[in-house]
């Protein structure tokens, strides 16, 4: 019998024998793992600053979901892989195509929202058949708020990243 939960963060496997049922993934990433690229904005599921990817094997395929880490309990992650903004850069240091598109299209100003947008965009690229039209991209990014850019450069970045 195995007690506790086991999941991956990036390529690192974690087995937690004793985690409080209400410990959030956001707090665990930032406080226990020191992964501060995932930001805390509202801390109640509204702003998207804390977006990470939760990857699960469902049937015979991997399903990638953008998830608000501030309302995701660690105790529900058994068997999953969590990917954070720290996992997006390639081993040679080059940026993920979504990150490069954000640079090219000036999609980041203060930068606080940027990791969350990048993670939602990466999930969007993985979605089957996501149309490239503005409305589909708007819908996909609707859970992420930005106070600086006016969104247009971010939508342009997403369009570039989809090409």
Question: Can you name the residues that pair with 82 across neighbouring β-strands?
Answer: 9, 54
Interaction of residue 153 with ligand FES, rule CB under 6 A:
no
- Angle, CA 50 vertex, CA 62 and CA 19 arms, to 5°: 75
Interaction of residue 37 with ligand FES, rule CB under 6 A:
no
Among the candidate windows 1-9, 14-22, 46-54, 92-100, which touches ligand FES by CB under 6 A? 46-54
Query: How many CA atoms lie within 13 Å of 85's alpha carbon, on the beta-carbon side?
Result: 25
Give yes or no for a contact between 28 and 16, defined as CB atoms under 8 angstroms apart.
no
Give the footprint of ligand FES on residues 82-121 (CB under 6 A): 108-113
Give yes or no for a contact between 125 and 100, defined as CB atoms under 8 angstroms apart.
no
Of positions 9, 29, 30, 41, contacts ligand FES by CB under 6 A? 41
Of positions 9, 28, 29, 48, contacts ligand FES by CB under 6 A? 48
**Can you tell me the distance from the alpha carbon of 22 to that of 71, in angstroms, rounded to the nearest whole number?**
9
Residue whose structure tokens are 């081993």:
91
Question: Nearest distance from residue 24's CB to ligand FES, in Å?
Answer: 9
| Pick from 130, 35, 22, 139: nearest CA to 82 | 35
Q: Which is nearer to ligand FES, 6 or 95 (CB)?
A: 95
Question: Nearest distance from residue 64's CB to ligand FES, in Å?
Answer: 18
Question: Nearest distance from residue 158's CB to ligand FES, in Å?
Answer: 14
> Can you give the binding site for ligand FES, defined by CB under 6 A?
40-43, 45-50, 68, 70, 108-113, 146-149
């Amino acid at each position: 019998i195995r007690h506790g939960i086991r999941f991956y963060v990036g390529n690192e496997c974690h087995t937690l024998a004793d985690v409080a049922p209400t410990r959030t993934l956001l707090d665990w990433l930032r406080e226990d793992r020191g992964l501060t690229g995932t930001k805390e904005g509202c801390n109640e599921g509204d702003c998207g600053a804390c977006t990470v990817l939760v990857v699960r094997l469902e049937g015979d395929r991997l399903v990638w979901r953008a998830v608000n880490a501030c309302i995701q309990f660690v105790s529900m992650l058994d068997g999953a892989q969590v990917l954070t903004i720290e996992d997006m850069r390639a081993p040679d240091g080059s940026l993920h195509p979504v990150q490069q598109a954000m640079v090219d299209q000036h999609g980041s100003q203060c930068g606080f929202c940027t990791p969350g947008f990048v993670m939602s965009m990466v999930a969007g690229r993985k979605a089957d058949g996501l149309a490239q039209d503005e409305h589909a991209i708007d819908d996909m990014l609707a859970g992420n708020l930005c106070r600086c850019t006016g969104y247009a450069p971010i939508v342009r970045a997403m369009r570039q990243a989809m090409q």
